[in-house]
Amino acid sequence: MERRFVFEELPRNAEELRALPEFAMSDPFMTAALTVAVLCRYEEDPAAAVEMLNALKGPRPLSNYEIQFLRDRLAGKGYKPYSFFEGATPANNYSPARPYTLIVRDDPYSYQNQGYARLQLQSHGADNPRPITLRQKGEQWLLWEQMLLSDIRTPAKDDPWA
C-alpha cells in the first residue's frame, strides 16, 4: 500500500507542526511523512527541527548521538530531505514541485514486529528506498528510527561533472 501526502507549506516550528492534520499520527504513514517535512527545516533552523522531531518521538526524545548524527548528515546537505518530494531531482538541485507531495509505502515486511511499522520512502537521488520505523503508543504512531539521510546523488550545482 502507498499513501500520498500533500503539504502546501512545510512546518517551521512545533506550533505549526501540531496544527497539521497529520499530527494526529493515527497511522504510521502520517508520522513518516511528517518526519520528512520536519527534516527539511534542519539546515535553516536546527533547534526548531530538533524540537519538532522530539514532538514526533513522544516520550523518547532524540539522544545526543541522534542530534550529532543529524548535524553530520545534513551539514551542507540540506537538500537530502527535499529529495523525497515529487519533482526533486539532482538536475534541479532537489527543488521539489509545489505543493510538496510525498509518497510513503509499506511492503510485505513492514509489520513483522507487533507495535512497530517499518515503512519506505524513495529519495529521487538514490536507487533504493529508505526505511523509517515507527512505534505504536496507544492510538498514535511515533517516530522510532529513521534511516533517510544516507548520501544521495550530488545536486547539479555541486557536481563538477554535471
Longest dimension (CA), the chain: 50
**What is the per-residue pLDDT for 95?**
97
The predicted model scores a pTM of 0.96
Report, as ranges of residue numbers, the positions in the chain whose pLDDT lies below 70: none
**What is the per-residue pLDDT for 161?**
82
**What is the per-residue pLDDT for 160?**
86
**What is the per-residue pLDDT for 81?**
98
